[in-house]
Amino acid sequence: MADLVRSLLGLIIRLGLLLAGLVFFASLLAAGMVLLLIWLMRALWARLTGQAVQPWVFRFNRRPPWQQQPGRGEGFGHTAASSREEVMDVQARDVSVVTDVEPKRIDPPR
């Protein structure tokens, strides 16, 4: 009796999973058909109005994020050309010699 119940329960679970897979496949197929229908209607409308049929594309910017927006980080109202004009040449000096630091003694914690 236990084998019969176990096999019936296994069959029900398998049929349920098969049904769920078929429903998922049908929903993906329906979504694809809706997108195809929308695209075909756009193409038909473009042909009727004499415009070129535009493909659906995903455009992305390959530049790093800090270069994607023009003028970002340069302040308000500054352009790249004006910021280049404001650069001044300065005499480089040796920063390895430090004279204004007082040595401090570090005591270990008690």
> pLDDT tens-digit profile of 86-105?
767 777 777 777 777 787 88
Q: 47-87: per-residue pLDDT in tens?
A: 999 998 888 888 877 877 777 776 655 554 545 555 566 76
Is pLDDT of 22 > 70? yes
Give residue 10's pLDDT: 95
Contact (Cβ atoms closer than 8 angstroms) between residue 44 and residue 50: no
Q: CA 93 to CA 60: how far, in whole Å? A: 44
Residue 1 pLDDT grade (very low, low, confident, very high; cuts 50, 70, 90): confident
Put simply, whether the predicted model's pTM sits higher than 0.75 gets the answer no
- Per-residue burial over 92-103, b if 16 or more Cβ lie within 10 Å, else e, is eeeeeeeeeeee
Q: CA 44 to CA 53: how far, in whole Å? A: 8
Contact (Cβ atoms closer than 8 angstroms) between residue 47 and residue 53: yes
Is pLDDT of 42 > 70? yes
Contact (Cβ atoms closer than 8 angstroms) between residue 54 and residue 46: yes
